[in-house]
């Protein structure tokens, strides 16, 4: 098929035979397929009418196609014969309503429209609708503010007899409870008639209360403090099972309903979502317990109720309990969430079957006092859900865990999709903006129906939550709706409401950030236990809130453009940009490559850090360039896991990694199989046993958690986006990118729906060859973006060589037309890694990371596959272990392993032959604690020769010979000692033993540096977050930027030979420099250079002992003086009174200063012999941590040796 050249916009008829033309559109040259509007059409269509539409398409080759006439019915609107409601004459919470309807000749469509009030009382549907005894759906769609929705059902085929029964079971505890039904016949001759309206035709309507039958008199609720829904303590012996049959009509004492008006201010509107239905689900097992009860299990959790069949000659109460979990082999009916699912159903008779009407979340049912033997044929689950075509999306790969993550996420979407997306059906039943944002991202990856997402945004905009950033997320969500649908009209209808969401925050032009403007609550993350030591009150301008705000302002600027608000667009864009820049300049630590929590009300930095700051920053583009994004991602990569944060914040972690170009890391973390780490999907599946995404990682994190909370499915959304997601780059998928990233996988298959049709991809890696097959719908510009492709690769598209492919640092970009295409990439080099546990890493290509981050194992061997015909030579590999030194070089195709078969901690590669003359091979490695080494090249060493070294990744690339080597200041080979500088001997007094934790035990690394007579100083001289050494000889300082031997990186002269020297970051730029003390006068230098002091102050007495630290966590070091065991602490570099005075320890203690707990504030420790007493606050009292380390006569140094944010010890011998 070819792309369309011109489209006959629309022809509208009032007859199915294409007669009676109502509208005939003109020909329009366009390939637009989404959000197509037909000018003038609305003016010719009447309310509550049946029409047929037809489209004619002409193609480039001159051929044309005409669709068959397709029926549609307009909104009822003014076509309601009455908008009054009906209910029982006396107050009731439940009733049956029915009417008898005659079938007529010539009816082309019979449309039943139904609404009811009030969905918000129990936060669920009000009615179950039936035609001739068959349930056709539940409803109505939940009310949004003053908009009461009605649902329409096509019941044409269900009217099978001369007389038919339409009926409702209704439940509502609202004061304004009522239902409205209207049936309209549309005839083949173009005529129509409202044949029934429940209020207009109240005399034909019968109603009977069901309170005592279904709910009994216990007034027991299955709800929580958020809502109330009565438990079904029912007496089935009183239930009229024939109530919706013609024969039963007029034979029982039913009543005429009471009529009441729709609540003042409410208005009726058609539901934009499909109708919610219920369907049966078979149990996976039925087990008889020792007490005679039965436990019924379903393979996955259900949102709905059960159907039960029983036979008993005498009246018997069957107890039914349900729960999301098991307790002692039975359903845990007293749930974490506060719900109690415990009911009595009274049965009597033979093979009596009853289907419950309730809405609850459960996986297990325990049945007590069941008569006879309960089998799977006698009980079913009843799922309540919004149906959609699940075949439009799929995912599979060679990684079992990733497949399980996808399955969990997709079922979470399927099971929880009703007309609106609630946080859960169990505890709250409330739509939240944050939940819907996660759901939206997932939904775009698995469903072609975008309307449940939009409907939920409608609800949220009418009922905004109390959370600051959630309200801003409404803007992000509506913008994503526009990108995916291209529907600017919808954006325009919501624009003014979105402006009120922006008013949730107050933008400070002097600060450059936002803070909450009213009584909303800054969420940041939930539960609060996921925010260790975060001071919500102190931090006014929060990094997380501002990351969301930056995106919201940027998105609002785009919405302003497409809706014609030009002035707004410029203003919002400027604010979004300013917030981004301010977060980078004020809240980002170049020392740790992480984001602080934010700013206090006075604009001062609050230097505490939680990982959520980094997750949100990556998710919303808070970085100045790719290098900064890489640095933030590396902090996560070193951890090898989600180190903190909720399952909700996991969405921002994984999406942040994908959006910032680190999909490979996201995939590796998602694929982790370590169930002992609770912040993994392996734990969710294997330890929690969840089948729908849970609300929290475990019950220790949130004791009232539910096991059906879609916000926990964010990992699956990122997986879909990252591996082969279709991301619109132009609204309505006029242009979109399909980015294939399978750097950690050998095979993937994915199908993702778009408004134009599904995009299907499959990708395989074998040796140096990667094949990608893609099938794209017609009508949009499809850019296939394939990671793992370098400029040296050979590329074929559909069997033909691409002579000049577009290949950048981020891979291959190639534009394809609609249809099926095959891309073959032959890379010059593939890296194959085998791990110590015997497993392998999927082959990666030059530029990609061969990584096993998140797996608790080291590297056993490395083999490079080479295209010698392309490069004209060979590539050789040598590896290193601390115990076995360097191996001999092996040629491409051979695996390099250490001599003693121990884990590899270093590598080196070199090219030979013609390749060596033309190209340079570059490489680096990732150590589990030290991060990435610097880039090195062509046979030079890369790795770690230090205690505890464990490699987690290798990255190799090949570039032209004259390409400059990247310089990031990192050490390329971290050593214990450099034998060349010491003659192979250990120099007494110049050997340093570094510990990376306050646990005692052996040193993590050992080096030799300088001379035994040197005075040693410690500081972060280059601002990389790691403290290193400098030695002083007189007034000359030899500064080293890495923990290693060898020559100094910088040598300077400063001050006098007899000066007392202090080290600190005096100006908060992340770099330590020197100060000298002469009596009580201090000369501060803000750079590692000679010359005049930058600042001079007087403080304390000449006899004082002086200490240096960042006492208030503002990023700047200041002074404290000690007199005995009393400390006078100053928070600024100035004279005057101390800001804090505290007594600690003994007058003869040796005192140390450091940030022991990583909270960015320095505190004291005292040393007595080889025992150290650490205090985490500047207060008196008992030490927080006590350890023994080294010897009593060791000289002790303090520093953050591994850039983890915490200071630890080193001793010098």
The answer to whether residue 893 sits within a structural domain is yes
Which whole number is the average pLDDT over 1110-1124?
90
The answer to whether residue 67 sits within a structural domain is yes
Q: What is the pLDDT of residues 838-879, one digit of tens each?
A: 888 888 888 888 888 888 888 999 998 887 667 788 899 999
d(CA 99, CA 860): 76
The answer to whether residue 548 sits within a structural domain is no
Lowest mean pLDDT among 84-98, 159-173, 996-1010: 996-1010
Residue 159 and residue 246 in one domain:
yes
Lowest mean pLDDT among 169-173, 479-483, 494-498, 588-592: 588-592
Pinpoint the alpha helices (H) of 660-724: 663-670, 681-686, 714-724
Residue 840 and residue 947 in one domain:
yes
pLDDT of 34:
79
The answer to whether residue 1050 sits within a structural domain is yes
DSSP 230: B
Which whole number is the average pLDDT over 1047-1053?
86
d(CA 1019, CA 1011): 18
- Helices and strands in the chain: count of H runs, count of E runs: 17, 79
Question: Per-residue pLDDT for 980 more than 50?
Answer: no
What share of the chain has pLDDT > 90, as a percent? Answer: 65
Give, in degrees to the nearest 5, the angle at Cα 1057 between 1053 and 1063: 65
The answer to whether residue 722 sits within a structural domain is no
Give the CATH number of the domain where residue 820 resides.
2.60.420.10
Neighbours of 583 (CB within 10 A): 28
Residue 216 and residue 338 in one domain:
no
User: Domain boundary at 974, 1003, 1024, which?
Assistant: 974
Question: Per-residue pLDDT for 914 more than 80?
Answer: yes
User: How many domains, in total, are found in the chain?
Assistant: 6
Residue 187 and residue 295 in one domain:
no
d(CA 592, CA 1206): 11
What share of the chain has pLDDT > 70, as a percent? Answer: 97
Question: Per-residue pLDDT for 6 more than 60?
Answer: no
Neighbours of 106 (CB within 10 A): 10
Lowest mean pLDDT among 524-533, 776-785, 1093-1102: 1093-1102
d(CA 1022, CA 903): 32
**Number of residues in the chain:** 1213
How many CA within 13 A on the CB side of residue 985?
5
- Residues 6+ positions from 13 with CB-CB distance below 8 Å: 19, 20, 21, 22, 51, 52, 53, 54, 69
φ, ψ for residue 1017 (rounded to 5)? -120, 155
The answer to whether residue 682 sits within a structural domain is no
pLDDT of 176:
92
- Residues 6+ positions from 639 with CB-CB distance below 8 Å: none
Average model confidence (pLDDT) across the chain = 91
Residue 970 and residue 847 in one domain:
yes
Calculate the alpha carbon distances from 582 to 536, 542, 575, 998 in Å: 20, 12, 10, 35
Question: Per-residue pLDDT for 650 more than 50?
Answer: yes
Residue 984 and residue 1086 in one domain:
yes
Q: What is the pLDDT of residues 250-286, one digit of tens each?
A: 777 799 999 999 999 999 999 999 999 999 999 999 9
pTM of the model: 0.82
Question: Per-residue pLDDT for 702 more than 70?
Answer: yes
Confidence of residue 31 (pLDDT cuts 50, 70, 90): low
Lowest mean pLDDT among 458-472, 726-740, 1161-1175: 1161-1175
Strand 94-102 and strand 163-171: the pairing is antiparallel
Give the CATH number of the domain where residue 298 resides.
2.60.120.260
Q: Which residues of 814-827 are buried (b: 16+ CB within 10 A; e: fewer)?
A: bebebeebebbbbb
Name 366's bridge partners. Answer: 295, 321
User: Domain boundary at 250, 270, 290, which?
Assistant: 270
pLDDT of 665:
94
Q: Which residues of 1156-1191 are buried (b: 16+ CB within 10 A; e: fewer)?
A: bbbbbbbbbbbbeebebbbbbebeeeebbeebebbe
Q: Taking a C-beta distance cutoff of 8 angstroms, is the pair 98, 167 a contact?
A: yes
Residue 781 and residue 873 in one domain:
no
The answer to whether residue 655 sits within a structural domain is no
Question: Per-residue pLDDT for 984 more than 70?
Answer: no
DSSP 443: H
Q: Which residues of 850-869 are buried (b: 16+ CB within 10 A; e: fewer)?
A: bbbbbbeebbbbbbbbbbbe
Mapping DSSP to helix (H, G, I), strand (E, B) and coil, where does residue 327 land?
A: strand
- Among 860, 34, 742, 4, smallest CA distance to 398 is for 742
Which whole number is the average pLDDT over 369-377?
97
Q: Which domain holds residue 874?
A: 829-974
Residue 1038 and residue 1171 in one domain:
yes
- Residues 6+ positions from 296 with CB-CB distance below 8 Å: 283, 285, 286, 287, 364, 365, 366, 367, 374, 376, 379
pLDDT of 9:
61
Element (H, E) at 473: helix 468-485
Rounded to a whole number of angstroms, the distance between the first and last alpha carbons of the chain is 79
Strand 1036-1039 and strand 1028-1033: the pairing is antiparallel
The DSSP result for 177-213, as a single string, is -EEEEEEEEEETTS-EEEEEETTTTGGGEEEEE-III
Confidence of residue 947 (pLDDT cuts 50, 70, 90): low
Residue 56 and residue 108 in one domain:
no
User: Domain boundary at 918, 949, 974, which?
Assistant: 974
Asked if omega into 140 is within 30° of 0 (cis), the reply is yes
The answer to whether residue 632 sits within a structural domain is no
pLDDT of 1:
40
d(CA 137, CA 135): 6
Question: Per-residue pLDDT for 241 more than 80?
Answer: yes
Residue 97 and residue 173 in one domain:
yes
pLDDT of 975:
63
Residue 848 and residue 994 in one domain:
no
DSSP 467: B
Calculate the alpha carbon distances from 339 to 143, 308, 413, 689, 797 in Å: 24, 22, 22, 20, 58
The secondary structure of 517-573, three-state, reads CCCCECCCCCCHHHCCCCCCCCCCEEHHHHHHHHHHHHHHHHHHHHCCCHHHHHHHH
Give 682 or 1204, the one with higher predicted confidence. Answer: 682
Q: Taking a C-beta distance cutoff of 8 angstroms, is the pair 136, 158 a contact?
A: yes
Q: Looking up tokens 């009595």, which residue turns up?
A: 344
Question: Per-residue pLDDT for 197 more than 60?
Answer: yes
Residue 1041 and residue 1020 in one domain:
yes
Mapping DSSP to helix (H, G, I), strand (E, B) and coil, where does residue 1094 land?
A: coil
pLDDT of 991:
82
Question: Per-residue pLDDT for 88 more than 70?
Answer: yes
The DSSP result for 963-988, as a single string, is PPPP--S--SEE-S--HHHHTT-PPT
């Amino acid at each position: 098929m070819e792309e369309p050249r011109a489209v006959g916009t629309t022809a509208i008829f009032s007859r199915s035979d294409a007669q009676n033309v109502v509208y005939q559109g003109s020909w329009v040259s366009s390939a637009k397929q989404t959000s197509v509007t037909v000018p003038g059409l609305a003016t010719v269509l009447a309310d509550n009418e049946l029409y047929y539409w037809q489209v004619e398409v002409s193609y480039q080759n001159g051929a044309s196609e005409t669709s068959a006439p397709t029926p549609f019915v307009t909104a009822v609107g003014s076509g309601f014969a009455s908008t009054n409601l009906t209910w029982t004459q006396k107050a009731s919470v439940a009733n049956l309503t029915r009417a008898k309807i005659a079938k007529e000749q010539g009816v082309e469509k019979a449309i039943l429209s139904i609404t009811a009030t009030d969905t918000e009382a129990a936060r669920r549907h009000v009615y179950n609708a039936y035609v001739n005894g068959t349930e056709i759906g539940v409803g109505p769609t939940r009310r949004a503010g003053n908009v009461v929705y009605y649902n329409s059902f096509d019941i044409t085929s269900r009217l099978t007899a001369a007389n038919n029964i339409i009926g409702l079971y209704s439940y509502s505890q609202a004061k304004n409870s009522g239902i409205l039904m209207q049936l309209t016949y549309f005839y083949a001759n173009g005529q129509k008639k409202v044949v029934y309206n429940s209020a207009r035709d109240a005399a034909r309507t019968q109603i009977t209360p069901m309170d005592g039958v279904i709910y009994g008199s216990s007034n027991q609720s299955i709800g929580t403090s958020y809502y109330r829904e009565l438990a079904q303590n029912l007496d089935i012996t009183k239930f009229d099972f024939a109530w919706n049959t013609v024969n039963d009509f007029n034979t029982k004492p039913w009543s005429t309903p009471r009529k009441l008006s729709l609540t003042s201010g409410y208005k009726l509107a058609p539901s934009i979502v499909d109708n919610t239905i219920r369907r049966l689900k078979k149990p996976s097992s039925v087990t008889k317990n020792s007490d005679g009860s039965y436990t019924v299990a379903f393979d996955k959790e259900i949102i709905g109720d059960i159907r039960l069949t029983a036979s008993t000659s005498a009246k018997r109460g069957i107890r039914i309990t349900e729960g999301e979990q098991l307790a002692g082999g039975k359903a845990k009916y007293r749930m974490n969430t506060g719900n109690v699912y415990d009911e009595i159903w009274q049965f009597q008779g033979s093979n009596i079957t009853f289907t419950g009407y309730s809405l609850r979340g459960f996986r297990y049912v325990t049945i007590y006092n069941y008569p006879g033997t309960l089998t799977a044929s006698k009980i079913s689950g009843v799922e309540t859900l919004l149906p959609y075509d699940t075949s439009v999306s799929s995912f599979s790969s060679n990684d079992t865990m990733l497949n399980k993550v996808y399955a969990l996420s997709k079922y979470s979407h399927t099971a929880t999709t009703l007309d609106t997306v609630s946080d859960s059906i169990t505890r709250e039943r409330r739509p939240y903006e944050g939940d819907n944002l996660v759901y939206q991202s997932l939904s775009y990856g698995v469903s072609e129906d975008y309307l449940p997402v939009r409907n939920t945004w409608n609800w949220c905009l009418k009922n905004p939550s109390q959370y600051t950033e959630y309200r801003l997320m409404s803007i992000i969500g509506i913008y994503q709706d526009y990108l995916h649908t291209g529907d600017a009209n919808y954006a325009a209808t919501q624009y003014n409401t979105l402006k009120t969401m922006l008013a949730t925050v107050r933008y400070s032009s002097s600060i450059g950030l936002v803070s909450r403007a009213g009584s909303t609550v800054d969420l940041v993350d939930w539960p609060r236990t996921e925010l260790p030591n975060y001071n919500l009150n102190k931090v006014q301008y929060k990094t997380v809130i501002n990351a969301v705000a930056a995106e919201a302002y940027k998105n609002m600027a785009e919405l302003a453009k497409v809706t014609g608000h030009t002035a707004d667009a410029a203003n919002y864009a400027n604010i979004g940009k300013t917030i981004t820049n301010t977060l980078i300049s004020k809240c980002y630590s170049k020392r740790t490559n992480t984001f602080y929590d934010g700013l206090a009300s006075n604009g001062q930095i609050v230097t505490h850090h939680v990982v959520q700051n980094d997750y949100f920053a990556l998710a919303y583009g808070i970085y100045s360039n790719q290098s900064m994004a890489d640095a933030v991602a590396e902090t996560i990569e070193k951890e090898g896991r989600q180190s903190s944060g909720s399952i909700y914040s996991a969405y921002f972690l994984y999406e942040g990694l994908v959006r910032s170009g680190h999909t490979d890391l996201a995939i590796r973390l998602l694929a982790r199989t370590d169930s002992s780490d609770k912040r993994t999907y392996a734990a969710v599946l294997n330890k929690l046993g969840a089948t729908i995404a849970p609300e929290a990682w475990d019950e220790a994190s949130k004791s009232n958690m539910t096991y059906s909370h879609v916000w926990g499915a964010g990992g699956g959304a990122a997986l879909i986006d990252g591996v082969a997601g279709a991301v619109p780059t132009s609204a309505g998928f006029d242009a979109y990118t399909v980015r294939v990233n399978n750097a950690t996988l050998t095979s993937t298959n994915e199908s993702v729906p778009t408004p134009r049709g599904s995009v299907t991809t499959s990708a395989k890696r074998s040796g140096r060859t990667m094949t990608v097959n893609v099938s794209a719908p017609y009508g949009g510009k499809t850019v296939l973006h394939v990671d793992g492709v370098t400029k040296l690769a050979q590329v074929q598209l559909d069997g033909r060589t691409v002579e000049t492919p577009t290949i950048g640092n981020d891979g291959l970009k190639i534009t394809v037309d609609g249809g099926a295409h095959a891309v073959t990439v032959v890379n010059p080099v593939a890296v194959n890694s085998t791990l110590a546990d015997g497993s392998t890493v999927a082959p990666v290509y030059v530029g990609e990371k061969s990584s096993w981050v998140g797996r608790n194992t080291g590297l056993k061997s490395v083999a490079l596959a080479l295209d010698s015909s392309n490069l004209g030579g060979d590539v050789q590999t040598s590896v290193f272990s601390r115990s076995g030194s360097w191996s001999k070089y092996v040629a491409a195709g051979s695996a390099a392993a250490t001599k003693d078969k121990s884990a590899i901690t270093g590598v080196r590669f070199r090219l030979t032959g013609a390749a060596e003359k033309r190209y340079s091979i570059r490489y680096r490695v990732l150590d589990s604690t030290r991060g990435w080494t610097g880039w090195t090249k062509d046979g030079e060493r890369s790795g770690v020769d230090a205690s505890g070294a464990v490699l987690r990744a290798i990255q190799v690339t090949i570039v032209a010979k004259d390409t400059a080597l990247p310089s990031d200041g990192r050490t390329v080979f971290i050593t214990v000692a450099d034998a060349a500088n010491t003659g192979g001997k250990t120099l007494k007094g110049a050997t340093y033993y570094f510990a990376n934790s306050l646990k005692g035990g052996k040193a993590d690394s050992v080096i030799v540096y300088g001379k035994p007579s040197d005075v040693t100083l410690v500081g972060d001289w280059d601002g990389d977050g790691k403290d290193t050494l400098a030695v002083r000889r007189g007034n000359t300082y030899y500064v080293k930027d890495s923990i290693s031997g060898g020559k100094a990186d910088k040598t300077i002269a400063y001050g006098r030979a007899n000066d007392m020297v202090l080290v600190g970051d005096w100006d908060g730029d992340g770099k330590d420099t020197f100060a000298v003390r002469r009596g009580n006068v201090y000369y501060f230098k803000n750079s590692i250079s000679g010359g005049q002091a930058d600042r001079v102050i007087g403080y304390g007495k000449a006899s004082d002992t002086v200490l240096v630290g960042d006492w208030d966590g503002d990023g700047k070091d200041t002074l404290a003086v000690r007199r005995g065991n009393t400390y006078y602490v100053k928070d600024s570099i100035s004279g005057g009174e101390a800001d804090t005075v505290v007594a600690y320890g003994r007058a003869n203690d040796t005192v140390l200063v450091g940030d022991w707990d990583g909270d960015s504030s320095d505190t004291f420790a005292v040393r007595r012999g080889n025992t150290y007493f650490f205090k985490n606050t500047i207060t008196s009292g008992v030490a927080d941590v006590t350890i023994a380390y080294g010897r009593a006569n060791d000289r002790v140094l303090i520093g953050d040796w591994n850039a983890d944010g915490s200071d630890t010890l080193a001793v010098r011998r």
